């Protein structure tokens, strides 16, 4: 199988597995929701059928066993249970493992696959004689003989399956689909070959044949649609009921030959009428016999024509809508988007140079061109960045499974709810956010939520709650992880910090400062090591990961009521809005999302602080960091300096600079390996005049000053 097609299948399969996990977790809460059952079945059916077509026979055979169970649920012969959900989630994980290890020896444990198949057979109450999955897309599993529907339940369908000529290109075998359809009941198949060209014009990679099928089955129209579910965009499919079985009554007559041909679209009504015109029309005969008057005949003809036109218009609208939906989105490799954003970043830099050059020369025509280029570059930048924006809900769904598994492991009853799943973030931020959020949620479950017995003793419901929420906040996204557990114990945290020598016993710390101590490396209050947490690592890693994303993290807690962890992140990692500042001849950039305000710092203000790096702002003392001193920049200090006040992990901290130049759109460039570990710098950018400005890592600067003061 061509690697391109195999990769396409794997990409779609991963998406289906994510949808499958989400549907299963919803189904556990609503086991009677047949729409969810249908979603699970269709996901399995698509993976199975596509897997067989693309050569992933092991995945197709394994998925068939799971699909069979949910087909039994759809037909009402099996109820959804917690055991069934757990088995299917385990099967979902095994399918993912099989996808990850496709083509690589030793990466998939066949014993796990065999055990899961045996568990599903036991669930179904069937022996080892359960029919195996065919190697191609197979028929939907039929009911046992004792459950075979009576003939009165059979419905007859007329099906026309007309594949597009290029259907072979994606590996589809139409014959396998016909075989699967024939397994649904009594089936007659007729192949239309009139479009097959002469041999010298025939392209062996094109499909010229289409088929008519007459199928009598009790499985319903959804079973027919499921057969074609993974080729529905590559064919014209028409399914019509032509006999309702017992509901059709006892009339054994059927449509005339001309009516059938017209209904199928094989011949035009005009052609039938032309043939019938050689004899008198029914209407004329009825008028001649005095059985109907001309007005009655005209009325019937108007009805015929109206229904025909209405159906034709509806069909055209449906075809147009389907075509629009089919072309509404396309798949683009992430690498191509990264290249596009990088090119846009270079263009933004060049545009800044053009704007600065035009401002210096003051030529009207050049200024006009620069303004137009700036406008177009801005639109291109916004669109390019929006392409990389993804809803964070895809990440939220993963955590529902995490909460389910951990609550079972720890013997706790926990409900997780989410909000703001539609909130969008850059895909790079989302990818790097997964691990920190996993650890925060695990901490909430392990340390925060009490056992059901402890919660009852405290007058709380047995079931704890974890709420994961996202919301846009300016040019950032604010994530909160909130639990209704026991909350943080300030005395325990402070005592542990004293024990580790992090603070002195007589230190006076605010609640916020005490909570921030848990971000110190190696800090842990766990009394015992478990498989979930308590190994002395974690929250410091979380903080470093958030800092690396140029974000911030803050904690608030109330004893006995719960804890809220707030994470603020920039929308994108590629281009940010920043504040350009100057110290001596050097220029630096501060992420604008962290900036609260700017104030002046005079010599009198410095003298009034009596040697302390503190500024008074509207009656409140705010500590500041003199960057000239921090970076050892020489030169004369201006009489009036500027203090850029930022918000870092819930604390206001100022940074003293010579001048604040203004806002700047910053294209982030990574530092070379030689400067990768330089404290206080997160990257660089090229300014409009071609010079380089460093981007300050504000959280790291604050942390380094705190460490040195301790």
* CATH topology classification for 575-709: SH3 type barrels. (2.30.30)
Residues 6+ positions from 107 with CB-CB distance below 8 Å:
97, 100, 101
Q: Which pair of structure tokens corresponds to residue 651?
A: 């604390």
Give the burial class of 679: count Cβ atoms within 10 A of its Cβ; 0-12 exposed, 13-18 middle, 19 or more buried. exposed
C-alpha–C-alpha distance, residues 175 and 189, integer Å = 11
C-alpha–C-alpha distance, residues 151 and 216, integer Å = 10
Q: Using the CB atoms, write b or e for 387-400: b if 16+ within 10 Å.
A: ebbbebeebbbebb
pLDDT tens, residue by residue, 346-378? 888 888 889 888 988 889 999 999 999 989 988
C-alpha–C-alpha distance, residues 113 and 102, integer Å = 14
Identify whether the C-beta of residue 420 lies closer than 8 Å to the C-beta of residue 569.
no
Q: Which pair of structure tokens corresponds to residue 353?
A: 């140079």
The DSSP letter of residue 273 is H
Query: For 144-211, where are the alpha helices, taking DSSP H only?
Result: 174-182
The domain limits of the chain are 3-124, 145-248, 280-326, 334-387, 405-570, 575-709
Identify whether the C-beta of residue 608 lies closer than 8 Å to the C-beta of residue 617.
no
Q: Give pLDDT, residue 194.
A: 81
Q: How many CA atoms lie within 13 Å of 181's alpha carbon, on the beta-carbon side? A: 26
C-alpha–C-alpha distance, residues 332 and 334, integer Å = 6
pLDDT over 50 at 141, yes or no: no
| 190 phi, psi to nearest 5 deg | -125, 125
pLDDT over 80 at 248, yes or no: no
pLDDT over 70 at 4, yes or no: no
Q: Which pair of structure tokens corresponds to residue 144?
A: 């046992």
CATH number of 3-124: 1.20.120.160
pLDDT tens, residue by residue, 376-417? 988 898 888 888 888 888 788 788 888 888 888 888 999 888
Instruction: Average the pLDDT over 613-625 and give the result.
Output: 88
Q: Return the SS3 of 2.
A: coil
C-alpha–C-alpha distance, residues 236 and 264, integer Å = 13
Give the start-end residues of each E strand in 164-302: 186-192, 210-217, 235-243
- CATH number for 405-570: choose from 3.40.109.10, 3.30.565.10, 3.50.50.60, 1.10.3470.10: 3.30.565.10
Q: Give pLDDT, residue 565.
A: 92
C-alpha 8 chain-centroid distance: 17
Q: Give pLDDT, residue 378.
A: 85
Residue 493 CB: number of other CB atoms within 10 A?
A: 19
C-alpha 121 chain-centroid distance: 33
Residues 6+ positions from 471 with CB-CB distance below 8 Å:
420, 423, 477, 478
C-alpha–C-alpha distance, residues 465 and 563, integer Å = 11
pLDDT tens, residue by residue, 110-131? 888 889 988 888 888 743 333 4
Instruction: Average the pLDDT over 325-354 and give the result.
Output: 79
Identify whether the C-beta of residue 213 lies closer than 8 Å to the C-beta of residue 242.
no
C-alpha–C-alpha distance, residues 378 and 384, integer Å = 10
The DSSP letter of residue 616 is E
Of 150-154, 234-238, 287-291, minimum mean pLDDT range? 150-154
C-alpha–C-alpha distance, residues 443 and 449, integer Å = 9
pLDDT tens, residue by residue, 479-513? 999 999 988 888 888 888 888 888 888 888 888 88
Q: Give pLDDT, residue 131.
A: 40
The DSSP letter of residue 659 is E
pLDDT over 60 at 661, yes or no: yes
Residues 6+ positions from 29 with CB-CB distance below 8 Å:
none
Instruction: Average the pLDDT over 458-463 and give the result.
Output: 91
C-alpha–C-alpha distance, residues 687 and 348, integer Å = 10
Per-residue three-class SS string for 235-246: EEEEEEEEECHH
C-alpha–C-alpha distance, residues 142 and 148, integer Å = 8
Q: Give pLDDT, residue 468.
A: 92
* Max intra-chain CA distance, the chain: 119
Q: Using the CB atoms, write b or e for 76-99: b if 16+ within 10 Å.
A: eebebeeebbbbbbebbebbbebb
- CATH number for 145-248: choose from 3.40.50.720, 3.40.50.2300, 3.30.70.1110, 3.20.20.120: 3.30.70.1110
C-alpha–C-alpha distance, residues 135 and 61, integer Å = 7
Instruction: Name which of 583, 590, 496, 503 is nearest 534 in CA terms.
Output: 496
Determine which helix (DSSP H) or strand (DSSP E) holds 558, and give its type and residue range.
Answer: strand 552-558
Give the burial class of 326: count Cβ atoms within 10 A of its Cβ; 0-12 exposed, 13-18 middle, 19 or more buried. exposed
């Amino acid at each position: 199988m061509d690697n391109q097609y195999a990769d396409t299948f794997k990409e779609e399969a991963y998406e289906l597995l994510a949808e499958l996990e989400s549907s299963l977790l919803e189904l556990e809460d609503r086991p009677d929701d047949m729409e969810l059952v249908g979603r699970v079945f269709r996901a399995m059916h698509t993976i199975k059928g596509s897997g067989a077509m693309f050569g992933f026979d092991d995945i197709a055979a394994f998925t068939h066993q799971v699909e069979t169970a949910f087909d039994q649920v759809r037909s009402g012969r099996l109820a959804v249970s917690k055991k069934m959900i757990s088995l299917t989630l385990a099967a979902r994980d095994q399918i993912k493992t099989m996808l990850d290890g496709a083509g690589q020896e030793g990466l998939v444990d066949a014993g796990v696959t065999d055990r899961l198949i045996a568990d599903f057979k036991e669930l179904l109450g069937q022996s080892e004689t359960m029919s195996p999955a065919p190697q191609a897309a197979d028929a939907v599993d039929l009911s046992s003989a004792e459950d075979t529907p009576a003939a009165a339940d059979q419905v007859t369908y007329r099906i026309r399956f007309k594949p597009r000529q290029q259907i072979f290109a994606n590996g589809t075998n139409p014959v396998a689909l016909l075989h699967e359809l024939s397994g649904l009941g009594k089936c007659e198949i007729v192949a239309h070959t009139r479009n097959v060209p002469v041999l010298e014009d025939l392209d062996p990679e094109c499909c010229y044949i289409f088929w008519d099928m007459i199928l009598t089955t009790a499985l319903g129209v959804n079973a027919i649609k499921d057969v074609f579910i993974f080729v529905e965009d590559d064919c014209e499919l028409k399914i019509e009921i032509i006999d309702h079985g017992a509901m059709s009554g006892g009339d054994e007559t059927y449509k005339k030959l001309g009516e059938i041909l017209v209904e199928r679209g094989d011949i035009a009504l005009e052609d039938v009428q032309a043939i019938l015109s050689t004899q008198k029309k029914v209407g004329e005969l009825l008028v001649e016999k005095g059985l109907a008057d001309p007005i009655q005949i005209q009325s019937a003809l108007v009805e015929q024509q109206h229904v025909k036109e209405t159906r034709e218009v509806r069909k055209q609208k449906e075809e147009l809508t389907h075509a629009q939906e089919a072309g509404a989105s396309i798949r683009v490799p992430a690498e191509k988007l990264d290249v596009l954003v990088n090119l846009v970043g270079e263009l933004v830099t060049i545009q800044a140079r053009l704007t600065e050059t035009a401002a210096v020369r003051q030529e009207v025509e050049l200024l006009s061109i620069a303004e137009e280029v700036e406008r177009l570059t801005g639109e291109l930048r916004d669109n390019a960045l929006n392409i990389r924006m993804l809803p964070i809900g895809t990440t939220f769904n993963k955590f529902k499974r995490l909460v389910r598994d951990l609550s079972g492991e720890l013997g706790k009853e926990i409900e997780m709810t989410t909000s703001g799943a539609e909130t969008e973030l850059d895909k790079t931020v989302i990818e790097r956010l997964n691990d920190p959020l996993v650890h925060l949620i695990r901490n909430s479950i392990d340390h925060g939520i009490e056992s059901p017995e402890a919660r009852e003793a405290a007058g709380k419901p047995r079931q704890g709650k974890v709420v994961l929420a996202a919301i846009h906040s300016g040019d950032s996204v604010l994530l909160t992880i909130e639990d209704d557990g026991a909350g943080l114990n300030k005395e325990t945290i402070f005592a542990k910090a004293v024990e580790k020598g992090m603070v002195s016993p007589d230190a006076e710390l605010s609640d916020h400062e005490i909570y921030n101590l848990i971000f110190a490396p190696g800090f842990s209050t766990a009394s015992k090591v478990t498989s979930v947490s308590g190994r002395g690592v974690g929250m410091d890693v979380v903080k470093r990961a958030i800092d690396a994303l140029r974000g911030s993290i803050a904690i608030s807690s109330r004893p006995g009521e719960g804890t809220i962890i707030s994470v603020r992140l920039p929308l994108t990692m590629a281009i940010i809005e920043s504040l350009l500042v100057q110290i001596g001849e050097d220029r630096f950039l501060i992420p604008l999302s962290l900036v609260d305000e700017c104030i002046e710092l005079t010599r009198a203000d410095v003298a009034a602080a009596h040697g302390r790096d503190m500024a008074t702002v509207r009656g409140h003392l705010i500590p500041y960091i003199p960057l000239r001193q921090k970076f050892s920049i020489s030169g004369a200090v201006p009489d009036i300096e500027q203090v850029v006040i930022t918000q870092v992990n819930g604390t206001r901290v100022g940074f003293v600079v010579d001048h604040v130049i203004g806002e700047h759109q910053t294209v982030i460039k990574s530092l070379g390996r030689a400067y990768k570990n330089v404290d206080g710098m997160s990257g660089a950018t090229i300014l409009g005049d071609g010079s380089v400005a460093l981007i300050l890592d504000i959280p790291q600067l604050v942390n380094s000053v705190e460490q040195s003061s301790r």
